Homo-oligomer: A and B are copies of this chain.
């Protein structure tokens, strides 16, 4: 079968090779992949930033959807023909984060799903919501679960609260959709008025162009009568956190997700405003399942920026690197 293996760091280190098709052992399923999505983390893995000591060759990617075609003994959760998406961490079923769960993350801590056939653990997949295409389902494991974990599982979002989302990457658009579906008010930022127009159509009621309004934290606070927003979904990191701390209300919450910018931060406003900053690193299968229920009940559709053929994974990563995308970048078998 074909698989993408990283031979050395850099997008040019990716090689599409022929390797033996794996066989499911006890408690494993074999999945014939139909679609994949890429995340900023994949770029960090390929660039050597995520895991500088990675052992080559390494099969990358965390997100994908396929059909179960064979099950090993002891498999109780699937049968051939089932359409499934793997969970980002193969051993995070429920409960909180833990070292042994993080150690089972596809495409980073363990080999990923960039292959025609993939082995998943009996506990490491979920059914794909019936209303979604394979490509749409493939967008969920990392970005969508992260947004759900941030807003719902850890954020306990309620209708009527105000959520601020930054930009138009995968996590931010899912956060917008989940916040909107939950009846929250959404303030969105972007550097592009055209993109802002699109997030308005998705349910954001307030828009801030952070290029023309660099003090967008104060602007967001003004949009809430000076009170501040209840929850900021922070994907920028140290570069944007000071504005997020300006935007959030006293006693509010910031989900710290992204590492797009480097740098350091003055923590004093966290104390003075009594803010909770929660680091969010994807989530559990239980969160994934609850999120799928929300997707089904609310007929949500993931936003796909562009679909590449599987063989063009390197080009897809370059497209992500350009930063021009709106929503998820997907690969198709």
Contacts and interface: CB of A to CB of B under 8 A. Distances in A.
A250 interface: yes
Nearest to A50: B272
A263 B178 CA distance: 36
Nearest to A73: B26
Contacts of A227: 99
Given A183-B182, A276-B277, A98 B251 contact: yes
Contacts of A158: 152, 157, 182, 290, 294
A214 interface: no
Contacts of A184: 297
Contacts of A274: 96-97, 102, 279-281
A162 to B, nearest CB: 8
A115 interface: no
* Most B Cβ at <10 Å: residue of A160, A249, A273: A160
Contacts of A106: none
Contact of A265 (B265, B279, B281): B265
Contact of A250 (B98, B161, B185, B275): B98
Residue from A183, A238, A295 whose CB has the most chain B CB atoms within 10 Å: A183
Given A27-B26, A257-B271, A259-B271, A94 B95 contact: yes
Interface in A139-165: 152, 154, 156-161
A278 interface: yes
Contacts of A237: 267-268, 271
A93 B93 contact: yes
A292 B160 CA distance: 8
A205 B263 CA distance: 37
A84 to B, nearest CB: 18
Contacts of A265: 264-267
Given A273-B279, A277-B276, A159 B297 contact: yes
A227 B99 CA distance: 8
A294 to B, nearest CB: 3
Given A94-B94, A95-B94, A271 B279 contact: yes
A269 B241 CA distance: 15
Contacts of A185: 293, 297
List of 3 A-B pairs having minimum Cβ-Cβ separation, nearest first = A160-B294, A160-B293, A97-B251
Interface of A: 26-27, 73-74, 93-99, 102, 152, 154, 156-161, 178, 181-185, 205, 227, 237-238, 241, 249-251, 256-259, 263-281, 286, 290-298
Given A152-B158, A238-B267, 15 more contacts: A26-B27, A95-B286, A98-B251, A159-B178, A159-B182, A181-B183, A185-B297, A238-B266, A256-B270, A257-B271, A271-B281, A273-B281, A274-B280, A275-B278, A277-B277
12 contacts: A26-B27, A93-B93, A96-B274, A97-B251, A154-B276, A160-B295, A263-B266, A264-B265, A265-B267, A270-B277, A273-B281, A274-B281
